[in-house]
Amino acid sequence: MTQKSTESAKKRILSGIKPSGELNIGGYAGALRQFVEYQHEYESFFFVPDLHAITVAQDPAELHRRSREIAAYYVAAGIDPEKSVIFLQSQVPAHAELGWIMETQAYFGELSRMTQFKEKSDGKEGVSSALFTYPALMASDILLYQATHVPVGEDQTQHLELTRDLAQRFNNRFGRTFTVPEAVVQEIGCRLMGLDDPQKKMSKSNPNKGSYILMLDEPDVIRKKLSRAVTDSEGQVRYDWENKPAVSNLIEIYSVFGGQTTEEIERRFEGQGYGAFKKELAEVIVEKLAPIQRRFHEIVDSAELDEILNRGARRAAEEANLTLNAAKKAMGFVTFD
Ligand code: TRP
């Protein structure tokens, strides 16, 4: 912490994947894969938002397993724990504490306008009050680390906008305390669509298991799911979202996992049918996932992961507590430092 001045000049990123379901390759394309890239360019904090997961009921054993799994995916996909800080949100108490403070800054009306809350609470009984205040906790996650950039999916941009408003509001009321973060705009291939319906995002909540590929799917399962993926009757591997959304989605998946551009893929499969394309696509995915799956299984229940998370929590807390103390002091709380 002695190099504070150089540190704060650096671009800093913070993001996390909620441990609320099994990860599919959409999560890899839209988040994980990009986290790995960002760590070269930014000082990086990647956390597991387990406190966010409990805004809806979670089975304790499931929460425990999923939380370790997300952390293991971070490492297995190539986030370097020597370079980036990897931690569990619940192990850094400052998140909950600043979360409470941010709730005092957020207006009821503002939170009522969050579309994710409306969607998730619509028609449900027993909606927790934490689901409503969720964005205040998310603001706390980001502001604690003075993050300059936050990569988020499309569904989170409204929450990020609110985070910016809360940071500005707090700074205006109490003096400059928080960095106002920017959303990181995602590149193509970040939003994979369902294999059964290119109009719907690839999602684990789809009851049709053939609509998504899980990070831990076995090679034969991947091959089978792809062989059944919807296409169209034209028979040409052409990237054209307007007229050929299903095939374009498959081309994007190929691009994410194989590294080629969409034009290169079109050229490669010119004159070939969908059968050959899907077969090769399956192999490209299988090949990319194999080392990630191997490392995942090696690490998920290991003492090595415990050690990474413990170290990460300590490093995160050091940083988070600096901001939390500054915020408390600015608000008038009695502090002793
Ligand atoms: N709300 C995010 C999601 O559902 C997860 C999240 C919580 C997050 N806190 C964050 C993402 C802070 C980025 C930054 O996907």
User: Ligand 1 within 6 A of 23 CB?
Assistant: no
pLDDT along the chain (337 residues), means of 10: 48 96 93 94 97 96 97 98 98 98 98 96 95 98 98 91 98 98 78 94 91 97 97 96 96 95 96 96 98 98 98 98 98 90
Tell me the CA–centroid distance for residue 304 and ligand 1, in Å: 25
Q: Is 279 a catalytic residue?
A: no
Tell me the CA–centroid distance for residue 299 and ligand 1, in Å: 24
Q: Is 4 a catalytic residue?
A: no
The catalytic position among 18, 120, 288, 329 is: 120
pTM value? 0.94
Angstrom distance (rounded) from CA 135 to CA 49: 12
In ligand 1, the atom with minimum distance to the C-alpha of 159 is: 1
User: Ligand 1 within 6 A of 150 CB?
Assistant: yes
Angstrom distance (rounded) from CA 142 to CA 5: 19
What's residue 10's pLDDT? 77
What's residue 194's pLDDT? 97
Contact 85, 147 (CB under 8 A): no
**Dihedral pair phi/psi, residue 108, rounded to 5°:** -55, -45
* Among the four given CATH numbers 3.30.2090.10, 3.80.30.20, 3.30.70.2660, 3.40.50.620, the one describing domain 12-190+297-331: 3.40.50.620
Angstrom distance (rounded) from CA 142 to CA 12: 10
Burial class (CB in 10 A: 0-12, 13-18, 19+), 42: buried
What's residue 7's pLDDT? 46
* Angle CA 295–296–300, to nearest 5: 120
Q: Is 278 a catalytic residue?
A: no
User: Ligand 1 within 6 A of 204 CB?
Assistant: no
What's residue 127's pLDDT? 96
Continuous H helices in 175-231: 219-227
Q: Would you kindly state where each structural domain of the chain is located, as residue ranges? A: 12-190+297-331, 209-294
Angstrom distance (rounded) from CA 279 to CA 206: 24
Angstrom distance (rounded) from CA 135 to CA 112: 11
User: Ligand 1 within 6 A of 156 CB?
Assistant: yes
Tell me the CA–centroid distance for residue 16 and ligand 1, in Å: 5
What's residue 8's pLDDT? 46
What's residue 2's pLDDT? 39
For β-strands 43-48 and 85-88, DSSP reports them as parallel
Contact 68, 300 (CB under 8 A): yes
Tell me the CA–centroid distance for residue 34 and ligand 1, in Å: 15
Q: Are the folds of 12-190+297-331 and 209-294 the same?
A: no
What class is the 209-294 domain?
A: mainly alpha
Angstrom distance (rounded) from CA 36 to CA 255: 17
What's residue 337's pLDDT? 72
The catalytic position among 201, 225, 244, 278 is: 201
